[in-house]
Amino acid sequence: MSLSPVDLPNSYIGRAMPRPNLARLTQGRGEYVSDLSLPRMLHVVFLRSPYAHAEIASIDSSEAAKMPGVARIVTGRELAEICSPWVGVLSHLKGLKSAPQHALAVDRARWQGEPVVAILARSRAEAEDAAERIYVDYTELPPAVDAFAAATPGAVPIHADLGDNIAFERTLDAGDVEAAAAASDHVIAQRFVFGRHTGVTLEARSIVADWNRAAQRLTVHVGSQAPHMMQNIIAKHLAIEEHQVRVLTHDVGGSFGIKVHVYAEDMAVSALAKLMGRPVKFFADRLESFVSDIHARDHVVDGRIGVTRDGRITFFEIDDITGIGPYSVYPRTSAVEANQVVNLVGGNYAVPNYRARARVVFQNKTPTSQYRAVGHPIACSVTEGLVDLAAKAIGMDPVEFRRRNLYADDAYPCTAASGIRFEGLSHHASLDKLLAMMDLPKLRADQAAARVRGVHRGIGLASFIEITNPGPAFYGVGGARISSQDGAAVKLDATGCVTVQSSITEQGQGSAAIIAQVTASAIGVPIERVRVILGDTDNTPYGGGTWASRGAGIGGEAAFQAGRALRDNLLTVAAAILQSTPEHLDIRQGVVVDAADGRARLELSELARIAYFRPDTLPRDMQTELMATRHYVPRDYAFAFTNGIQASYLEVDTETGFIRLLNHWVVEDCGQPINPLLVDEQVRGGVVQGLGAALFEQCRYDDQGQMINANMADYLVPMAGEMPDIAVGHVITPTAESAIGAKGAGEAGTAGAAACVANAVNDALSPFGVVITEIPLTPEVVLQALGRV
Amino acid sequence: MIEISLTVNGEPVSASVLPRTHLVDFLREELGLTGAHLGCEHGVCGACTVRLDGEIVRGCLVLAVQADGGSVETIEGMSDTGEIADLQQAFIDRNALQCGFCTPGMLIAAQDLLRHGGVPSREDIREHLSGNYCRCTGYHAIVDAVETTAKQREAAQ
């Protein structure tokens, strides 16, 4: 087939169209795990450690056990008998260490919010009542709260067996930074501070597990992004086989990386279901979500950049430290974010000299791990912050400065200083498109006019790169049983309709929609005839799921290949029926036609009828195969990098410190978009998540390791009133690795949003001679920088 | 336990409830109306928005006993009557929902604004929806869908 998928007749690939099946969700007829109720189901509530660090001397649950509705109360020691502990390390992150973590704390609690006792009761309310009557005798221990202090030689290790609190350290030295610094006209050093935040999925984590003693089988309903990973891990730690565990995801009320991890509560619920022989449900309340969902970011980065007077960047250098809580999260670890920061800083610029260090440190706070755009917002803010400072140092316009240093659009393939490889990016085309969208001269004029009125507005840019379509380099090579390949099984039914079972999952991105679009295009059927099945380990091929912007690029390609294979099978059967050859036939809109003139020859429903019910009328040696399965993983590149650029226009009130967002623009290049409508909304949603980090969101801790704003009234998230409209444009550089050419689009918005906001704030405040490189940019931070508080 | 009688989506309902039962838990657990969602259970996120006697309320801040004698409308009822069919279609067409968990509450809050008639400004739409948290969309598409529906309704008059 010489035509590209996009050029196929009646292709749905590249078409903006609404997602199928959304009516359910608009009518309140979705089925989220939090909605699920099974016969004989028990509810579990976890009593959590009120201390950041404490010995558990004793647990007295005698009074609680007599409370109405209580079925059982289980401690960490008891649960450890049926659920083995885990250690969140990956062997390719050299030296990464962590300690065994139990489903419920055994002997010692290491963060405020760590589950300590499980209470099973008829209702959640009754379990909560009983939890108040459990008396745990804690002996408080000094918590390690500050990452710098915890990393200091001689600091008391949180896990004595590990020797110190350094979970992981990576250094990188490319080119010759010393020589580059010596050859620079200016070297600028700046510290960047990134608040700790969390995902705040609107549906909190929820899981229902049900052990059937007769079938010896565990059915787990959990809003996970990676059901096969969950299946493998639950089986492993309950010492049963994978086929004894079925994982279903149902509708998932938001995820963003929060629901790609294995949580202590997931393992506890699975084990408790096995213990009780009846369904057990956990649905986190919002307060416990804040201290038990993974947190993210929390980095302090000391950055340096060198520049020559003629506008050439000579080197980048970073020293990053991040506090990850007391355990590296299982099985994806808590070292990936810092590792990404090292990989990504400076990666959009043709600068061969780069030195980096990253330290990942244990502390007594909620564990951190991968959350939307892992590491990218940090790398982008550091890179783009330094780039703006360098431009300013030599008095060059930030647009012109970027033009001189971004990788040229014809530079590919190439390898950045950190070793990451690019197949094809479009930094300059994206910048040109952005400038056309935002009308920079007009904005500059508006900014100048506002200054005259004493109103301080600023314009900020942030170019970015984004890792998508990861192969096994992320997890598989490090020993984690997380699939990087995905599969699709495509079947023609007896009425000529198509069912696709795919191993990627849906959390609202539109996974089902794009699988339907790709499959319908590959076979040549109307999209209304395609039904997609996702999120069920019993009914989908083995695969990775949806995370790291991989669903469309990897799962979509598998569906395309499966669809093409089914098409070939169908044409073989059709050729026999029509006494033609497959080469002379095609399938268009569900009908077998003559390839040459498009004349209709055979409905697929008729083909299916013959194949399924009258095979006796087909040639004796023909066994029809109206189902085809294909799997796919990228091989040429470890990751399919995407790129883009964002811009922010905003106003800073220098009296109150409040920032008002006026406009936001994004140009991104995710390769071939399968559904531009969905891509745009991924970008917008991602941007707003980044804007939340830029302006509002922060898990605040006191010096005893207590999270002091663990509720939605005090942990601020972006609401409609504070957010701007967001203009989105595209440049399209398809990946040549796959037939459909798609790269990922889910995280690009988050990658660059905070960086361009910070640059815009500094542009607004330039008359005041201050530079702010800390997020969230709260009024307090702004006023402190201005010396007003 | 306290006896209550109310109307839910036009149907009379009588039940015994614990005094501490929230309206949203009553709807979800006793009546199986799971379209109103639990997002925060402390009145911030708006996922549990329903209508009580014509006004939008947060189902997590109202007790079931407070609805005694009242009339409750949920997303399921408002879908069946067709009252918001155009708004729902606008959400679908504009991809103004992703995970869909906020959507029932968002639709009911938006309808509360649209019922006043006219075409609200984008700023007014944003302000009116500022009590409903959506983590997925970034709100732009939601504002578009509400604005489109307002214009369609005005044109139809």
Q: What average pLDDT does range A118-136 have in this prediction? A: 98
pLDDT for A550 equals 96
CA distance A375 to A377: 6
* Count: domains in chain B: 2
Residues B73 and B105 occupy one common structural domain: no
Q: Is A677 on the interface with B (CB under 8 A)?
A: yes
Final residue belonging to a domain, choices B40, B58, B77: B77
Cα separation, A181 vs A413, in Å, equals 27
Q: Superfamily for A33-141+204-252+258-292?
A: Aldehyde oxidase/xanthine dehydrogenase, a/b hammerhead (3.90.1170.50)
Amino acid identity, position A86: W
A305-468+638-785 topology per CATH: Aldehyde Oxidoreductase; domain 4 (3.30.365)
Residue ending a domain, among B12, B44, B77, is B77
Beta strands in A49-161, from DSSP E residues, in sequence order: 54-60, 70-75, 108-109, 115-121, 135-140
Q: With 70 as the cut, is the pLDDT of residue A738 above it? A: yes
Q: What is the mean pLDDT of residues A702-719?
A: 98
Contact B36, B50 (CB under 8 A): yes
Task: Tell me which residues of chain B, numbers 10 to 39, contact chain A at a CB-CB cutoff of 8 Å.
Answer: 18, 20, 28-29, 33-39
Q: Which chain A residues contact residue B98 at CB under 8 A?
A: 254, 507-510, 681, 685
Structural domain boundaries of chain A?
5-29+485-632, 33-141+204-252+258-292, 305-468+638-785
User: Which of B104, B125, B138 minimises the CB distance to A28?
Assistant: B104
How close B130 gets to chain A, by Cα (Å)?
5
Each residue's pLDDT tens digit, A374-400: 999 999 999 999 999 999 999 999 999
Whether B70 and B6 map to the same domain: the answer is: yes
Q: Residue A145: its pLDDT value, please?
A: 97
Tell me which residue range forms the domain holding B103.
84-152
Same topology, domains A5-29+485-632 and A305-468+638-785? Answer is yes
Which amino acid is it at A481?
R
> Do B23 and B65 belong together in one domain?
yes
- According to the model, what pLDDT value does residue A3 have? 56
Are residue B6 and residue B71 in the same domain, yes or no?
Answer: yes
Chain A from 350 to 389: CB within 8 A of any B CB: none
Q: Does residue B73 lie in a domain region? A: yes
For B47, which of A202, A256, A689 is closest by C-beta distance? Answer: A202
Distance from CA of B133 to the nearest CA of A (A): 6
Residue A21 confidence (pLDDT): 86
Query: For residue B147, what pLDDT band results from cuts at 50, 70 and 90?
Result: very high
CB contact under 8 A, B126 and A723: yes
If you measure CA to CA, which chain B residue comes closest to A252?
A: B99
Task: Determine how many CB atoms are found less than 10 A away from the CB of residue B69.
Answer: 10
**Token pair listed for A428:** 């300059």
DSSP H/E element including A180: helix A177-182
Q: How far apart are CA A147 and CA A158, in angstroms?
A: 12
Contact A399, A311 (CB under 8 A): no
My answer on whether B123 and B147 are in the same domain is: yes
Q: Are B29 and A37 within 8 A, CB to CB?
A: yes
ipTM score here?
0.98
Decide: helix, strand or coil at residue B96.
coil
The domain A5-29+485-632 is classified under which CATH number: 3.30.365.10, 3.40.50.720, 3.65.10.10, 3.40.190.10?
3.30.365.10
Give CA–CA dist A320/A759, Å, rounded.
20
Tens digit of pLDDT for each residue in A313-342? 999 999 999 999 999 999 999 999 999 999
Residues 92-151 of B with CB under 8 A from A: 92-93, 95, 97-104, 107, 122, 125-127, 129-143
Q: Which residues of A42-77 are buried (b: 16+ CB within 10 A; e: fewer)?
A: bbbbbbbbebbbbebeebebeebeebebbbbbbbbe
pLDDT of the residue at A9: 65
The reply to whether B42 falls in a domain is yes
N- to C-terminal Cα distance for chain B? 49
- The H or E element spanning position A318 is strand A313-323
Q: Which of B39, B99, B131 shows the shortest C-beta gap to A252?
A: B99
In the numeric block, which tokens belong to residue B7? 């109307």
| Domain co-membership, B110 together with B52 | no
Look at residue A5 and tell me whether its pLDDT is greater than 90. Answer: no
Residue in A19, A509, A726 nearest the CB of B140: A726
Last residue of a domain, one of B52, B77, B102: B77
Amino acid found at A152: T
Query: Where does the pLDDT of residue A10 fall: very low under 50, low under 70, confident under 90, or very high at 90 and above?
Result: confident
Q: What are the pLDDT digits (tens) for B45-94?
A: 999 999 999 999 999 999 999 999 999 999 999 999 999 999 999 999 99
Interface check for A662 against chain B (CB to CB < 8 A): the answer is no
Tell if the CB–CB gap between A35 and B47 is shorter than 8 Å.
no
Answer whether A650's CB lies under 8 Å from A659's CB: yes
In this structure, the number of other CB atoms found within 10 A of the CB of residue A526 comes to: 16
Q: How far is CA A373 from CA A7, A293, A297, A754, B141, in A?
A: 32, 17, 10, 12, 22
In a domain, B157, yes or no: no
User: Distance, in angstroms, between B155 CA and closest chain A CA?
Assistant: 24
> Which helix H or strand E contains A489, and what residues bound it?
strand A486-492
Taking CB atoms and an 8 Å cutoff, what residues of chain A touch B130? 719-722
Whether A8 has a pLDDT exceeding 90, the answer reads no
Distance separating alpha carbons of residues A267 and A235, to the nearest angstrom: 10
DSSP sequence for A656-700: T--EEEEEEEEEEE-BS-S-HHHHHHHHHHHHHHHHHHHHT----
Closest among A231, A237, A228 to A218, alpha carbons compared: A231
CATH number for B112: 1.10.150.120
- Decide if B34 is inside a domain: yes
Residue A546 near chain B (CB below 8 Å): no
Asked if A125 and B20 come within 8 Å (Cβ–Cβ), the reply is: yes
Does B81 contact A at CB distance below 8 Å? no
Residues B89 and B73 in one domain: no
Q: What are the CA-CA distances from residue A528 to residues A141, A518, A590 (Å)?
A: 61, 13, 10
Q: What is the mean pLDDT of residues A98-122?
A: 98
- Name which of A256, A689, A720 is nearest B143 (Cβ-Cβ): A720
Q: Do A26 and B95 touch (CB under 8 A)?
A: no
For residue A6, the model assigns a pLDDT of 67
pLDDT tens-digit map of A630-676: 999 999 999 999 999 999 999 999 999 999 999 999 999 999 999 99
Residues of chain B contacting residue A663, judged by C-beta atoms under 8 Å apart: none
d(CA A744, CA A552): 7
Q: What is the mean pLDDT of residues B3-20?
A: 98
Mean pLDDT across A511-518: 98
* A1 pLDDT more than 50: no
Shared-domain flag, residues B63 and B129? no
Would the CB atoms of A35 and B42 count as touching at under 8 Å?
no
Same domain, B124 and B64: no
Under a CB-based contact definition with an 8 Å cutoff, are residues A713 and B41 in contact? Answer: no
> A30 contacts in B (CB within 8 Å)?
35, 100-101
User: Is B109 part of any domain?
Assistant: yes
The pLDDT value given to residue A2: 47
Q: At what angle do helices A556-578 and A511-523 cross, to 10 degrees?
A: 30
Please tell me which of the candidates B18, B39, B97 has its beta carbon nearest to residue A22: B97
* Non-local CB neighbours of A453 within 8 Å, separated by 6+ positions: none
Chain A segment 693-732 residues within 8 A of B by beta carbon are: 711-713, 717-723, 725-726
Per DSSP, A12 falls in state -
- A681 has a pLDDT exceeding 70: yes
